Amino acid sequence: MIYVLPTLWAVVTFVFFIIRMVPGGPAMAVLGSYATAESIRELEKQMGLDKPLLVQYGNFLKDLCRGDLGKSMITKRPVSSEIAKALPYTIDLTIAGMLIGIVLGVPIGIMTALKRNRAPDYIGRILSLVGISMPEFYLGILLMYVLAIKFDLFPVLGGGNMSNLGSRLHHLVLPALTLGIIMTAFISRMVRSSMLNVLKEDYVRTAKAKGLKERVVIYKHALRNALIPTVTVIGLYASILMGGSVLTEIIYSRPGLGKMMVFAVKDRDYIALQSVIIIFSAFVFLINLLTDLFYSLIDPRIEYH
């Protein structure tokens, strides 16, 4: 925990300077290609970009310490309110993607481990390899084509009405499946290999020798131990999943954080980009923290001091 703040500071500092080193600026984005050099300079002055970089950095840190993320350079609206609007779409997507991954990935992993080198194992391994190899944008378009156009089951447009649960879920299904299928592939492979390792252990053999039922041996003795590396992987991929939401949100036109980040990069909206990166980083820390806490639930021998 004590590393959270210094790491966050390092991330935002890196982003602050790197984005300003990249050619292009927000003034050009606002004024368009018709703008004269004079009017671009004028707007840069209004945006405070004429000040020395270290002064800009100092102001940024000062505002950040006060909890003020600043105003978007393009829209002039408080970034915090833009993030507040976008965040639920990304959280919905990440959680749903992760749930699909866990709900499908863990049983598939167990099944393929138990049926090692038999037909279900081969099928599961091939499918998981396909899932891992398939880019999100391709899978997204494919799902859209089959489930939205051919079978007309789901909409392809937008994130739905956030105040209407039905509409929200209806619009969430396809993007969540896109991320969830990829997550399933990762998790099932991880569970399979962890289970194969654990099934060879003495305590599993002992449990079987004691005459315990197969189900008890698998779920109580084997799976519980296999879950520790799996949870690590789930935590890791949950962070990657948030990154994956960028492409998925673009494909399905969801107004989430990923889409906001792409727009901020494209328009060099320094303030919005810094803020989105802070939020993404904070989520990665939160997921890591939850993962650590989860270890002690799975294995009571793990204690934190």
Partner 1 sequence: MVALISVGIGFLTPAFAQEKVVREALKASDIRSLDPHYGTTTIDLACITPMFNALVRFKPADINPEKIEPDLAERWERSKDGLVWTFYLRKGVKFHKGYGELTSEDVKFSLEKAANKATSGFAGDYTALGKVEAIDKYTVQLTFKTTIPSVLGILADYHGGYIVSKKAAEERGDKFKFDPIGTGPFMLKEYVPKEKVVLVKNPDFFRGKPLLDRVEFWFMPDASSREMAFRKGEIDLVEGEREQSWVKKMREIPGTAIEIFGPGETLVLHFNMSKKPLDDIRVRRAICHAINIKELMAFLGPDVTEPLVSVIPKSYLGGTDKVPTYEFNPEKAKKLLAEAGYAKGLELSMVITEMSDYRRPMEQVQEQLRRVGINLKMDVITHTAFHEQIRKDVNPLVLYVAARFPVADTFLTHFFHSKSIVGTPTAITNFSHYNKVDDLIEKARSELDLTKQKDLWAEAQKKILEDAAALPLCTTKFVFSRKVFVDLGYEMRSTLVLSPPIAWTTDIKKK
Taking residue 232's Cβ as centre, other Cβ atoms within 10 Å add up to: 17
DSSP string, 101-112: HHHHHHHHHHHH
Q: For partner 1, which residue of 12, 69, 238, 260 counts as binding (CB under 8 A)?
A: 260
CA distances from 10 to 158, 237, 288 (A): 34, 22, 18
Task: Closer to partner 1 by CB, 33 or 117: give it.
Answer: 33
Burial of residue 117 (CB within 10 Å: 0-12, 13-18, 19+) is exposed
Q: For partner 1, which residue of 199, 217, 251, 279 counts as binding (CB under 8 A)?
A: 251
Task: Closer to partner 1 by CB, 62 or 266: give it.
Answer: 266
Residues 153-192 that bind partner 1 (CB under 8 A): 153-159, 166-167, 169-170, 173, 177
Answer for the pair 225, 198: CB distance below 8 angstroms, yes or no.
yes
Task: Closer to partner 1 by CB, 39 or 133: give it.
Answer: 39
Answer for the pair 246, 253: CB distance below 8 angstroms, yes or no.
no
Q: Is 15 in the site for partner 1 (CB under 8 A)?
A: no
The secondary structure of residue 156, as a DSSP letter, is: -
Q: At what angle do helices 136-143 and 223-251 cross, to 10 degrees?
A: 70
Q: Is 107 in the site for partner 1 (CB under 8 A)?
A: no
Q: Is 250 in the site for partner 1 (CB under 8 A)?
A: yes
Query: Whole-number minimum distance, CB 125 to partner 1, in Å?
Result: 21
Task: Closer to partner 1 by CB, 153 or 216: give it.
Answer: 153
Q: Which residues bind partner 1 (CB under 8 A)?
A: 22-25, 28-39, 42, 46, 74-77, 82, 85-86, 137, 141, 144-145, 147-149, 152-159, 166-167, 169-170, 173, 177, 250-256, 259-260, 262-263, 266-268
